[in-house]
Amino acid sequence: MELKRRMPSAAPLAARAAIGERLPSKPHAAFRFGQTWGAKNRRLTLAAGWATDARMHTLEQLRSGALAGARVLRLPKAGLSEFPREIFDLAPTLEVLDLSGNALSALPDDLPRLEKLRVLFCSDTLFTELPPVLGLCPGLTQIGFKAARLRTVPAGALPQDLRWLTLTDNAIEALPPEIGRCHRLQKLMLAGNRLTGLPPELANCTRLELLRLSANRLTERPAWLAGMPRLSWLAMAGNPFNAGLETAVPGAALAWDDLELHAALGEGASGVIHRATRRDGMPMVVKVFKGAMTSDGLPRNEMLACLNAGAHPNLVPVIGRVDGHPEGRDVLAMSLIDPALTPLAGPPSLDSCTRDVYPAGTRFSLDHALHIAMGVAAAARHLHARGLLHGDLYAHNILQAPGRPAMLGDFGGASFYAPGDGPALQRLEVRAFGCLLQELVERCDAAVPEDLTRLVAACLGKVPARRPLFEEIEIRLAAIS
């Protein structure tokens, strides 16, 4: 379940610099910055109309009838090798089912009896094929099979009402053309597979907004991607077609032996964050990358993007890489930042899918909303000038406070691109900015200028080639402010 993460009272500066990592839970804290709490494909924050029970359950509870009427059933790492038939006793109410971390390799043919099932997680399992029975489940809108040993995706396994499909870290070599029939698809997570191409029929998924293609075997970027009307968050690092662009920034690095590590501040999918002090007394935080696949891609690509992003007042500051880790791990050193800064929003929920979740009652003055927007636009233009697509331009990756520069962080979804691809890909990210700007405008406590409303519409335009680039966006925002 995704929750508001609590910032520890000790070392709040360092914790907030831990880009994309889980933070310890303590009172009076901000949302966790960057990633969600736990695996990204197991989001159990459910908005209105969804169950909100995040408790782990046991097989004994299920068999005893103690879970009658449950809308959420979580049985991860329960030692299962077969689908428990007792789950069907919950058919009148069950909406979310999590069977991750079990030795399952098949689902029952009568799974469609779970008529209210909306969300199914079977990550870290033993499936080699995405079960065709999924396509027969009438209400299924989210499927998560991360690290499930999948090799094939049959055409019949894709429900037509699917909104969110996570197939990260498998061995899939191709997607069926029938994926183009999933007209409601908004989020598609394919990082860490063996894809050499995408079916052109995917272009028919005109509601697709978030696409993760990192760490595959793509030899070229499909040209039609840049024309998809709603695509906003694209990650494609770690493929052969852009491998030549993913190079380390030259320059001196910090030495591991010159650092004294203190307590770990948090751990996420891509690494572990520690508070540290250099020999000369300089405080910092260091991120020790794990090297494992995440839903965005490979942590090493994240580190390269951080290093190549360069310095900018609206980017979370990076000191540099750290060489000499005893296990050969990639390590990144980051600066401490203003403790007043907090994440602008929380990550998307199951219900919102691709849109961030703001605390109830969140309001902004027009000046503060424009201040945030101008800072983020400046950061995005800076990244684009360096051949970097952020890939995850979201409110939950923005630190802000009134009167202070907004700071964009979390480069887990960042990608390098060739100069010739720049304008087309930049305009995808402009739509992500348009979503952010729309969220800010909707929460303004004052009348919104017509010029700002028109700018939101221009950034969200369905024809990507007609969207403004960030240089123009900065000029228009400056004129409004």
DSSP characters for 327-367?
A: T---EEEE----TT-EESSBPP-TTTTTS-BPPTT--B-HH
* Residue 197 burial (10 A CB sphere; 0-12, 13-18, 19+): middle
Angle between helices 470-480 and 450-459 (to 10 degrees): 170
Return the domain boundaries, the chain: 39-208, 342-480
As given in the structure block, the two tokens for residue 69 are 């009427």
Provide the pLDDT for residue 53: 53
What is the topology classification, in CATH, of domain 342-480?
Answer: Transferase(Phosphotransferase); domain 1 (1.10.510)
Three-state DSSP state, 222: coil
Cβ(286)–Cβ(334) under 8 Å?
yes
Tokens of 257: 């032996």
CA distances, 144 to each of 66, 162, 306, 384 (Å):
26, 11, 28, 32
Q: Name the nearest CA neighbour of 99 among 68, 132, 77.
A: 77
Q: Give the tokens for residue 433.
A: 């900015």
Nearest to 332 by CA among 245, 272, 266: 272
Taking the C-alpha atoms of residue 175 and residue 195, their distance in angstroms, rounded to an integer, is 8
Can you give the pLDDT at residue 270? Answer: 82
**Cβ neighbours of residue 430 under 8 Å, at least 6 residues apart?**
459, 467, 468, 469, 470, 473
- Average pLDDT per consecutive 10 residues, the chain (481 residues; last block may be shorter): 29 35 30 32 33 76 96 97 97 98 98 98 98 96 97 96 97 98 97 98 98 97 96 97 85 90 85 92 92 88 93 94 92 90 93 94 96 98 97 96 94 93 96 98 95 98 98 97 87
Burial of 318 (0-12, 13-18, 19+ CB in 10 A): buried
If residue 74 lies in a helix (H) or strand (E), which one and from where to where?
A: strand 72-74
User: How many residues are recorded in the chain?
Assistant: 481
**Separation between Cα atoms, residue 242 and residue 124, nearest integer Å:** 29
| Residue 292 DSSP SS3 | coil
Separation of CA 143 from chain center: 16
Superfamily covering domain 39-208: Ribonuclease Inhibitor (3.80.10.10)
CB 17 within 8 A of CB 336: yes
> Which residue(s) pair with 364 in the sheet?
444
Q: At which residue do the structure tokens 């494992």 appear?
A: 292
Distance CA 122, CA 144 (A): 6
Asked if 404 contacts 341 with a C-beta cutoff of 8 angstroms, the reply is yes
Distance CA 366, CA 159 (A): 43
- The pTM (predicted TM-score) of the whole model is 0.88
Question: What pLDDT shows up at residue 348?
Answer: 94
